[in-house]
Structure 1
Amino acid sequence: MSSQLDPVTQAIRIQSEKTQHREHSTPLFITSSFTFEDAESMRAAFAGESDDNIYTRFSNPNVDEFIAKMCALEGAEAGFATSSGMAAIFGSFFALLQQGDHLICCSSVFGSTYTIVTKYLQRYGIEHTLVPANDDAAWEAAVKPNTKMVYLETPTNPQLEVLDLEWAGKFSKKHNLILNVDNCFATPLLQRPIEYGADLVVHSATKWIDGQGRVLGGIVLGRADLINEIYLFCRNTGPSLAPFNAWVLSKSLETLDVRMTRHCENALAVAKAVQGNSAVAWVKYPLLEGHPQFEIAKKQMKMGGGVFCLELKGGVEAGRKFLDALDLLTVTANLGDSRSIASHPASTTHSKLSSNEQLAVGITPGLIRISCGLEKADDLIADITQALAKSAS
């Protein structure tokens, strides 16, 4: 397929090679292994001399189609799809870091990522330094002779801090470091970190890429040499994407563009509507004026994403009251769904962290994260407004 086509078009038109049935929609390839015509073709496949599929843990037509579409969207040389977003993050760390290496990580990251960095990496002799999101001097001071990788999210989960990808790319290049960016919240339709110098991009495809809360999935994209190491690591350790999940995710990419437009429009409208509510201390959304990194967000994001967050004046108890008062929004541990979702990170996704650890990664007691779905904005505003009133009573 021509690379001159817009990436959105490519994500719709890229397909696995048709079978003899000439199907219009890619079929499911639910098989654990693949056969060979003779011993020589099998030998060549195992030797890496052909592109023949061997085993679904290594590759599968459904998985390959999903990867090809995501590479087109991110502008990546190669990719490997995993069983979940955390598997993608885990694989990107453990395939490339080894004993004695040092990782610089943004302190504002998803709770499970924080746990991998602070608990599990050190078991294998991999050092880390946590650095505040936009403290340039602290990032420079964190560099050591054994530093190998920089890891960050932008926007961050759930505080929606926006890191300057142009600065991060130059910083990583200057120090010859691998820049690894979690692009889950923005998706490749809103920003493409590789254009700013990222070597790797990771996604939880469970979120916006699926878009309907159906399947788990993850993917790592980027430089071909790095992806090959990740492929070899994951091929042997096993966190690969199942064909059915890949089929669902590939089909979902065909509507990602239109879905993200609605998600972003809803998030901005609702964030504006609750700004100034008497129960709310502050509202944060990347493209809402007053966001600390508003100018950076305008520079590197086409739209602001489908998530906004707010701080309730009443703290933890107000957060629980707010969730209990919602009628329309769903209370669940996910985001990026067609249905709007509310969560209270201090008592859920980041509950395993101590109070000091929560504050260190930007989790305040009354923080509420809203993932705006595809409903009408007025209905979302009405439900959130009445829940805010009850949270303050």
Structure 2
Amino acid sequence: MAQGFNTRSIHAGQTSDPTTGAVVPPIYLSSTFEQDVPGTPLNGFEYSRCDNPTRTALQHNLASLEGGLLAYSFASGMAAEDAFFRSVLKPGDHIVLGNDAYGGSYRAIAQVYGPLGIGHSTIDFADLAKVEELIASTKPKVVRIETPTNPLMSIVDIEAVAAISHRHGALVLVDNTFATPALQRPFELGADVVLHSTTKYLGGHSDVVGGAIVLKDADLAEKVAQIQNWMGAISSPFDAYLTMRGIKTLGIRMERHSENALALAQRFEGHAAVERILYPGLTSHPGHEIAARQMSAFGGMMSIQLAGGEAAATTLLTRTKLFTLAPSLGGVESLIEHPGLMTHHSVEGTALEVPANLVRISVGIEDIDDLIEDLAQALDSLL
């Protein structure tokens, strides 16, 4: 019988140390490994850029959780995405991505790959007729999906967009950072590649930076493995260990993140200082039905547009006590930030520019009554 998600989170890729019996596998900090015979690595380990037992354990774990064939762990989410694009793109190729994709990814696509002769188009994935038209006309090599999106919390119908993409020969990459495999399984919906910033919910404690690519095709996986080895943007053994440590509690953390975020969204929808709450768990969200179909819960990320404009948004950030003003997301603690001035400043003046009155909240796993009290006093102070 196949093991459940929480069981695999704890055990996949990890066994007790055969030498000592240690339940937690050791962190293999060695940069190089002894050989008995020249050119014949012991158990396949030769040099830690090429492979490392701790990183290998994490990669097996990630592949199991996403339901992929192979996974590769990198020093950051951007390094992981870059390795995949380097693996499949050449000058003249094209990428289609959402018009509210993560700003860092858009910056890389436009400013790094663009000058190398790789084109791109952005689109609202909600309009499937226009998606079909664009993909048919541009013949992209990769269609990059993000759902929920960062920071506008849009929902993309993975199954529908994947079907369109495959009809026209495109690979489908899904950034599953916000949902995680605890809540959403892109491979089951037609994705070819899954991307993670493991810095976020997988690590889960705001103490490690990392990224991962998970694949289900062996030939494509071999190309990514070569780029990981040749270019070397790997996760360190200690970072791999910290990420695995976080993953052990991923399932139960995502339950609590989701419960808290839904409670906050429902509590403050309609507040006099709020213009709009963006959270797919609300029935008022335009992507609610799709999210309910392809996710098992709605996650811990939400955004709020303030009625008082940018001034109200920036003021709110200084009025909270439990919600810490900081970029990033996915940790056990609640964070709050202004995307336009912080995480998404790089897309100012582009089609991906975010509203100035938008505040993004990464809802933590604190007691919900404390979070409600803190956000209530901060929002009330704007009236």
TM-score in same-fold range (> 0.5):
yes
Who is 2:142 aligned against?
Answer: 149
Who is 1:7 aligned against?
Answer: 5
Alpha carbons 1:106, 1:133 under 8 Å: kept = yes
TM-fit CA distance, 1:7: 3.0
SS in 2 for 1:129: strand
The amino acid that maps onto 1:87 is A
Q: Tell me, which stretches of 5 or more residues in structure 1 are unaligned?
A: 46-50
Structure 2 CA distance, aligned partners of 1:145 and 1:373? 41
Structure 2 CA distance, aligned partners of 1:301 and 1:149? 23
TM-fit CA distance, 1:316: 1.3
Alpha carbons 1:319, 1:391 under 8 Å: kept = no
Residue of structure 1 aligned with 2:253, choices 256, 259, 262: 259
Structure 2 CA distance, aligned partners of 1:9 and 1:78? 19
Structure 2 CA distance, aligned partners of 1:353 and 1:22? 51
Who is 1:48 aligned against?
Answer: none
Alpha carbons 1:133, 1:161 under 8 Å: kept = no
Compared CA separation, residues 29 and 258, structure 1 to 2 (3 A): same
Alpha carbons 1:312, 1:367 under 8 Å: kept = yes
Who is 1:287 aligned against?
Answer: 281
TM-fit CA distance, 1:234: 2.1
Instruction: Show the 5 A alignment for 1:1-393.
Output: 4-14=2-12, 15-16=14-15, 18-42=17-41, 52-143=44-135, 144=137, 146-223=139-216, 224-354=218-348, 356-357=349-350, 360-361=351-352, 363-392=354-383
TM-fit CA distance, 1:131: 1.1
What do the CA deviations read for 1:270-294 (whole angstroms, capped 9, x no partner)?
Answer: 1111111100001111111100011
Q: Among all aligned residue pairs of Structure 1 and Structure 2, give the percentage whose two residues are the same amino acid.
A: 34
SS in 1 for 2:88: coil
Task: After the TM superposition, list the runs of 4 or more consecutive aligned residues in structure 1 that deviate by more than 6 angstroms.
Answer: none
What do the CA deviations read for 1:50-95 (whole angstroms, capped 9, x no partner)?
Answer: x511211121111111111111110001111000111111111122
SS in 2 for 1:28: coil
Instruction: With the length of structure 2 as denominator, give the TM-score of the two structures.
Output: 0.96
The amino acid that maps onto 2:67 is G
Instruction: With the length of structure 1 as denominator, give the TM-score of the two structures.
Output: 0.94
SS in 1 for 2:120: strand
Structure 2 CA distance, aligned partners of 1:101 and 1:154? 24
Alpha carbons 1:108, 1:133 under 8 Å: kept = no
Structure 1 CA distance, aligned partners of 2:100 and 2:347? 13
Structure 1 CA distance, aligned partners of 2:105 and 2:364? 25
Structure 2 CA distance, aligned partners of 1:259 and 1:378? 17
How many positions carry a matched residue from both structures?
380
Q: Tell me, which stretches of 5 or more residues in structure 2 are unaligned?
A: none
Structure 1 CA distance, aligned partners of 2:375 and 2:240? 34
What do the CA deviations read for 1:89-129 (whole angstroms, capped 9, x no partner)?
Answer: 11111221111111111121111111011111111111111
